[in-house]
A and B are shown apart, each in its own frame.
Chain A
Amino acid sequence: MSILIDGSTKLVVSGITGREGTFHTLNNRAYGTNVVAGVTPGKEGQDVEGIPVYNTFRKAVEEQGANTAMIFVPPRFAADSILEAADAGIKLIVAITEGIPAHDELRVYTHLQRLGDVRLVGPNCPGILSPGKANVGIIPASFFKEGNVGVVSRSGTLTYQIGNELAQRGFGNSSIVGIGGDPVPGSSFIDIIALFEADPQTELIVMSGEIGGSAEEEAAEYIAANVSKPVVGYIAGFTAPPGKTMGHAGAIVSGSQGTAAAKAEALEGKGVRVGRTPTQVADIAVEILGG
């Protein structure tokens, strides 16, 4: 098995007619993903290499049975596109778009939480890859093969780096999920770790975090209470310069949370081993699963 996407995925792509949208949609299809439709307002009736384009998500769902959406439109249109996909009944939305205004993300997140049954992955994420089954997004799939390690990460390229280190030690992946690093990610580490915990194919979970926010600290608490499978952590940014603090209010909200050291400590305090480099993450995986 895998999580979120597999052979039953029927993908509709918003922004399919854009240059990057076309390129990555066709890459996803070439990998074996069942891409059933695209959405570009005003271009219904056209097709992208045989993939029919519709004006609305509603019609793409009605006519092609799309059950997963990928958002590839520019930031100013992205929040609207996510809301439209949800309104059309799509339950998994993967938003690749980078640079969506934070207040848009906050409104979208709050609305989707209220709907209760729609999962958003991203925005500003590389997408999801279930090796051997489906690829939704921009993850360079040729570096990964099917296997028993689930990877969840806030950063795109760092995901590839860690996945590649694991692949070089012979490990494959059940799924690789980029949750993105935006202020309001649709899915958290906890959401994805819960899915890996329930997935029989996944035997080891790798979570790759970075400085800022408190998602890693929250994940540490969750893992200690709810996860039976081994988890290996990585945190980028031990030597990154202190960031812009957002006035006093920022310091009051976040306290000492948010540094790489605090995150690593929170995870290790709950029994999660943390690699100090991507290579060390792979070393720990070898120790746990055997080489």
Chain B
Amino acid sequence: MDEPLKSAVLMDLLEYQGKQLFARHGVPVPNGGYAATIEEALDVADGIGYPVVVKAQVQIGGRGKAGGIKVAQDRDEALQHCEAILGMDIRGLTVRELWIEEASDIASEYYASFVFDRAAKATLAMLSTKGGMDIEAVAEEDPTAIARLHVDPLLGFQDFHARRLCFEAGVDADVVRPVSALLARLYEAYVDEEAMLVEVNPLIVKNDRTVAALDAKVTLDDNALFRHQENAELRNPSAEDPQEQMAKERGLTYVKLDGDIGILGNGAGLVMSTLDVVAQAGGTPANFLDAGGGSKAEAITSAVEVILSDPKVKAVLFNIFGGITRCDEVARGLIDAFEQIKPSVPFVVRLDGTNDVEGRRLLSEANLPNVHTAATMDEAAHKVVEVARS
């Protein structure tokens, strides 16, 4: 499932965004509201009526253990919890948003999900009666506790699929109907919103034997956002690295790492290979930027800006093998970048592929300060490690 660099760019929603998406498709969720300030939070809580649950909205597991989810019996308690949770740091993420919802009584905790299963080239539906905190451990220790089936995309998720999952998972007989209905609505949300994952953990059965999604994990397919304006506008302010945000706005894929060598390549495979070769040469990448296919000079100029916005960068490696990308465009972009930004760190440039001769000629004529060229990828990797150290 992990596809960090390539075209399957994914967008993880916060819990409240996932729940609002669920609600649009009729998946039952507890009554709740969004708040970014304490005043807003108390307004929402007063509207719902106590007790309420105050939930930190950050994109990370273990919120409950970290103290980011608290039940408040009354207004005073709600105020205390909101003050404690807003601004709290949960495993490196600052809480800037809250979701306040009615407290639910819980008879049972189940687990349900639909996930895009790349190996099977189909959607995998899963249901378990062992929901709650640690479903991964359940999967490992007792795989039979999770009922699974693959959904044919041209047939869709039928009622009999839902019943089969329920009976195989051992769902209480009196809630097979509402659980099946929830699964059907959940699949509808998954398909209509073009999600790569919809996960409910826990799916709760209440004392009155109704069911609801107490949590929501939704991952959307970035490639489909052009059809989903509402989703395209969703934002997650606590998770956005400013440089990654800057790159995204310019249509570039940028990932920040811990080292001191900035890396620009074209195409995810070549970029990953470049990271490996630099590591083997003894270097540690500070970041990498995939300029993608068909990069024009302006894209390269902004790529240089993004890479250099990280102060840890001591040297930059350009590794380009042009197919759809033309090396002369890359060279022009680099020359423009030097005019505009005047970088103070050394660059090592390796250009091969479409229009490489012209690209190399442009670079050599421009005679940029502190720019070294390399004939091969290995040579380039060794050279950039050397100049980063000196």
Chain A nearest CB from B276 CB (Å) reads 5
> How far apart are the CA atoms of A239 and B322 in the complex, in Å?
23
Q: Shortest Cβ distance from A264 into chain B, in angstroms?
A: 11
Determine the residue in chain B with the shortest Cβ distance to A153: B269
Residues of A within 8 A of B323 (CB): 126, 138-140, 156-157, 160
B355 to chain A, nearest CB (A): 9
Q: Which of B86-94, B159-167, B190-198, B300-308 contacts A (4 or more CB under 8 A)?
A: B190-198
The residue on B at minimum CB distance from A212 is B3
Inter-subunit contact A278/B223 (CB<8 Å):
no
A-B contact count (CB 8 A): 235
Distance A246 CA – B377 CA, assembled complex (angstroms): 33
Contacts of A7 in B (CB 8 A): none
Which chain B residues in 171-215 approach chain A with CB under 8 Å? Answer: 191, 194, 196-197, 199, 201
Question: What is the CA–CA distance of A208 and B268 in the complex, to the nearest angstrom?
Answer: 13
What is the interface of chain B mostly: helix, strand, loop, or mixed? Answer: mixed
Interface size, chain B (Cβ < 8 Å): 70
Minimum CB distance partner of A102 in chain B: B221
Selected interface stretch from A42-50, A85-93, A195-203, A247-255: A247-255
State A158–B199 Cα separation when bound (angstroms). 35
The yes or no answer to A271 lying at the interface (CB within 8 A) is no
Residues of A within 8 A of B309 (CB): none
Interface stretch among B31-39, B112-120, B329-337, B338-346?
Answer: B112-120
Binary interface profile of A, 196-239, with partner B (CB < 8 Å = 1, else 0)? Answer: 00000000000010111110001000000000000000101111
Q: Which of A140, A158, A213, A250 contacts B115 (CB 8 A)?
A: A250
Q: Which of B4-12, B22-30, B70-78, B361-369 contacts A (4 or more CB under 8 A)?
A: B4-12
Instruction: Rank and list the top 3 A-B pairs by shortest CB-CB distance, nearest first.
Output: A155-B269, A243-B4, A157-B267
Tell me the A residues contacting B by CB distance below 8 Å: 20, 24, 75-76, 98-104, 106-107, 109-111, 124, 126, 138-140, 143, 153-161, 164, 181-184, 208, 210-214, 218, 234, 236-254, 257-258, 260, 276-279
B interface with A by C-beta (< 8 Å):
1-8, 10, 12, 113, 115-119, 121-124, 126, 135-136, 139, 146, 152-154, 191, 194, 196-197, 199, 201, 217, 219, 221, 223-224, 226-227, 255, 257, 265-270, 272-273, 275-277, 279-280, 285, 293-294, 321-325, 352-354, 376-378
A-B contact pairs, 29 of them (CB 8 A): A76-B227, A100-B223, A102-B8, A103-B221, A110-B154, A138-B293, A139-B323, A156-B267, A157-B266, A157-B267, A157-B270, A158-B267, A161-B321, A181-B8, A182-B8, A210-B268, A213-B1, A234-B273, A240-B4, A240-B5, A241-B4, A242-B4, A243-B5, A249-B199, A252-B135, A277-B273, A277-B377, A278-B273, A279-B376
Known: A106-B121, A181-B6; 10 extra A-B contacts, CB below 8 A, are A98-B293, A106-B122, A138-B293, A157-B265, A184-B121, A212-B2, A242-B4, A250-B1, A251-B136, A279-B376
